[in-house]
Structure 1
Amino acid sequence: MEHKIIVVGIGPGHPDYLIPRAAAAIREASYLVGSQRALDTFAGPDATLRRIDGDLDSLFTDIATALKNSDVVVMVSGDPGFYSLQPALKARFGAEYELKVIPGLSSIQIAFAHHGLVWQDAELLSVHGRELALEKWQYRSGRKVAFLTDATMHAAAIAEHLLAMQWPTDAEVFLGRNLSYEHEEKKCCILQEATKMEGWQHCVMIVIG
């Protein structure tokens, strides 16, 4: 088909962390899809805007209609290749349309950088709206795990799960939230202390055993 879907990683959300190629794709978009915050932050005055909500069937119907007339640019948080809308878009449109992907910085990358940690030896997991298999919680000496959290599986809940799986109480914990924004926060503690922490939802949690 003539038109394509361009999946753009917008990084943690602040324009300073948007790569130039992604910025150009968003700037040139005729039909732009994204969360309300992404649209408020990045959308230009001339694009037709479609907010991502919980109704994917309706969203995909609107995208299919838009593709008849133009390319569609879909903004996703972080990097498209890491727990984003990209797989669903590929499953729905991949047989008919080209999917072009422009990478972005994930919040996990930003969290490791803010704490001065390397992540080449880390396991990257998400409990944002999903359950992990039991073995994913297992303790192993020296294991380094980064979690994307949500309102239910927040930092304190994850700490409780890990302690129940025999992680040491003094395992190192590094937290980051609102990354890239003026009100971003980071914190270091041990695993036992993390069980008492309130408010650390939708954050990045790094645990080193």
Structure 2
Amino acid sequence: MALLYVVGIGPGNPDYVVPRGLQLIKEAPVLVGSERALADFAQPHQITYAIKGSLSDLVHWIKEQLGEHDVVVLVSGDTGYYSLLPYLKKTLPDQPMEVIPGISAMIFAFARIQEVWQDADLLSFHGRVPPEEALRYEPHRKLGFLTDKVHNGAAIAQILHDHGWPSDCRIVGCERLSYEDEHIEELTIQSMSQTTGFEHAVIIAFAHKN
């Protein structure tokens, strides 16, 4: 029976994909991923499917391909961190599957600014809103957020301020991580609330230590 492989491609640059993942991507007869991922990884001989519409249509197409070929699905970041994996497991419960982890954009962002994440609360504004209690201000807190077009850097900074975070707290925006045009900017919550950009990015906020 054909196998379904779910491969985390990290922040995007092939340099940060684990060797097992790169091998599977290179040898895949069928490759599924975002348009950007396919532009970076697809080979001319491969059958490809760009994820940009209905997920039910995607799963139907994958089922058809699995009748003849193994299929490799590329997911950004890590397979276990807000990826397509739960949906694939739910809709293809009996399908033999192998999952290859990657480096999440969140962890990559912490590494880029030379900070540890072991004491951080990792949350997401990407298509969702964290619970109110998760946003409260307390000294020594460290929060990491995934963002989207609605909840960009400015919106998240304002939300934090509304939850008691002082306007002079340090906040770092990280976008286009691992690419040549990578952009990392360290600001205060006040200045971030007046900044454009940082959509589909990572925001890291630091409370005062006392």
Q: What TM-score results when the alignment is normalised by the length of structure 2?
A: 0.96
- 1:128 equivalent to 2:126? Answer yes
Look up the equivalent residue of 1:32 and give its one-letter code: L
Moved more, 192-201 or 28-37: 192-201
Alignment deviations for residues 37-71 of structure 1 (CA, whole Å, 9 cap, x no partner): 11111011221101111211110000011111111
Alignment deviations for residues 114-139 of structure 1 (CA, whole Å, 9 cap, x no partner): 11100111111111111222112111
SS at match of 2:140: coil
**Unmatched runs of 5 consecutive residues or more in structure 1:** none
Q: 2:153 aligns with which of 137, 152, 155?
A: 155
Residue 6 of structure 2: aligned partner: 7
CA RMSD of aligned residues (A): 0.9
Residue 63 of structure 1: aligned partner: 62
Q: Which portions of structure 1, spanning 4 or more consecutive aligned residues, are displaced by more than 2 angstroms?
A: none
2-side partners of 1:34 and 1:72: how far apart? 11
2-side partners of 1:183 and 1:141: how far apart? 34
Residue 78 of structure 1: aligned partner: 77
Count of aligned positions? 207
**Unmatched runs of 5 consecutive residues or more in structure 2:** none
* C-alpha displacement of 1:24: 0.2
Look up the equivalent residue of 1:133 and give its one-letter code: P
Alignment deviations for residues 157-197 of structure 1 (CA, whole Å, 9 cap, x no partner): 00101111111222111111010111101111111111111
- 1:33 equivalent to 2:32? Answer yes
Q: What TM-score results when the alignment is normalised by the length of structure 1?
A: 0.96
* C-alpha displacement of 1:17: 1.1
SS at match of 1:58: helix
Percentage identity across paired residues of the two chains = 44
* C-alpha displacement of 1:200: 2.0
SS at match of 1:147: strand
Q: 2:114 aligns with which of 116, 120, 124?
A: 116
SS at match of 2:196: coil
SS at match of 2:118: coil
